[in-house]
Amino acid sequence: MKQPPTRNFEDIVARLKASLNPIGEWTTMDTLSIKDRDYPLVKIVIGKGNSRRVLISGGIHGDEPAGVETICTFLENKLYTDFLENWEITLLPCINPSGFEAGTRHNQDDIDLNRKFKEDQVPREVAFVKEVLDRPYDLDLELHEDVDSSGYYLYQKDQTTDLSTLGRKILDRVESIHPLNLAEEIEEVPADRGLLSRLSEPEEMEWWPMALYAYTRGCSHVFTLETSPALPMDVRIKAHLLAIQTALKHVEEQNL
Ligand SMILES: [Zn+2]
C-alpha cells in the first residue's frame, strides 16, 4: 500500500516564523480546525508601503510542494533583500495546508480550490485569497507543479501589452536550470516553448482559477508557473526562485 507523504504543516509554519524576524509582517487571516488540528491561513508582507506590489503564492494544490518550499527558501535565504527598495512583497506560503499535509490536490472536503474563484459561496481558503486580492497587485505569481509535464511552462495574462515579453524572459532564464515543456499544446492551450498566453477571457469560462480572479480584480500581470515533479525538488525550487527574481527585476528595469 502506498504510504501517505509525511509532511507536517507545523514544520512549515516554524520555518516561516524563524525566517521572518524582524523583517516581515505575519497575519493569520483565518484558522481551519480539522479534526484536532489547526491550520492557519497565513499572509506575510515584506517592504510594506513600497510603491510596487507583488503577490506570490503557493500550495493551492496540496500535492505540489515546490511552491511552498520555494517561498520558505525565498525567506530563509533573504532573497527579497535586492527588491526591498521598490517592492512590497506579499506571500501566501500555503493556501491549502490540509491538502499539503495529506499530499492531495484537493482540500479536506475534496474540493479543488483553484476551480472555485468564480463563485460567491466559497471554501474558507478561497475567501482568504479573495480578501488578499481586495487591492490589485502589479504582479501576481502563482507557483504550481504539473505531474503530467516533463518541463517548465507558464500561463501569462496581462491587462496591457507593456510587459508582454516578460513570460518569454522568465522561461529563457529558467531553461538554464530546468528543461521547458516544448509541446505545441499544453492543457489544450496553444504553447510556444512553454509560454501559454492565448488564454480564454473570464466571461468565456465556466469556472475561474485564482489567476483569472486576480485578473478580474485588476492585477496588471498574472503568471501561473508550473514545474515538472519529474525533476528533483532542489531544481524545481531553483526554477521557481529564478522565475520570481526575473519577474521582479524585469518590471523594475522597465520602470513600469
Ligand atoms: Zn496546481
Q: How far is the CA of 38 from the centre of ligand 1 (A)?
A: 23
Q: How far is the CA of 118 from the centre of ligand 1 (A)?
A: 17
Q: What is the pLDDT of residue 219?
A: 94
Residue 210 and residue 142 in contact, taking contact as beta carbons nearer than 8 Å: yes
Record the pTM: 0.96
Q: In the predicted model, what is the mean pLDDT of residues 131-136? A: 96
**Do the domain assignments include residue 100?**
yes
Q: How far is the CA of 4 from the centre of ligand 1 (A)?
A: 19
**Do the domain assignments include residue 1?**
no
CATH of the domain at 217: 3.40.630.10
Q: Provide the mean pLDDT of the chain.
A: 94
Q: What is the pLDDT of residue 5?
A: 59
Q: How far is the CA of 34 from the centre of ligand 1 (A)?
A: 22
Residue 191 and residue 184 in contact, taking contact as beta carbons nearer than 8 Å: yes
**Do the domain assignments include residue 4?**
no
Residue 59 and residue 91 in contact, taking contact as beta carbons nearer than 8 Å: no
**Do the domain assignments include residue 61?**
yes
Q: What is the pLDDT of residue 108?
A: 96
pLDDT category of residue 3 using cuts at 50, 70 and 90 = low
3-class DSSP assignment, residue 89: strand
204 compared with 140, residue with greater pLDDT: 140
What is the C-alpha to C-alpha distance for residues 86 and 171, in angstroms, rounded to an integer?
A: 24
Which residue segment(s) compose the domain that 164 sits in? 9-253
Number of domains in the chain: 1
Q: How far is the CA of 255 from the centre of ligand 1 (A)?
A: 31
pLDDT digits (tens, 9 = 90+) for 168-179: 999 999 999 999
**Do the domain assignments include residue 3?**
no
**Do the domain assignments include residue 26?**
yes
Q: How far is the CA of 150 from the centre of ligand 1 (A)?
A: 15
Q: In the predicted model, what is the mean pLDDT of residues 191-210? A: 92
**Do the domain assignments include residue 2?**
no
What is the C-alpha to C-alpha distance for residues 166 and 156, in angstroms, rounded to an integer?
A: 9
Q: What is the pLDDT of residue 2?
A: 53
pLDDT above 90 as % of the chain: 86
Q: What is the pLDDT of residue 254?
A: 82
**Do the domain assignments include residue 114?**
yes
What is the C-alpha to C-alpha distance for residues 188 and 91, in angstroms, rounded to an integer?
A: 30
3-class DSSP assignment, residue 154: strand
Helix axes 66-76, 9-20, angle to 10 degrees: 20
pLDDT digits (tens, 9 = 90+) for 69-118: 999 999 999 999 999 999 999 999 999 999 999 999 999 999 999 999 99
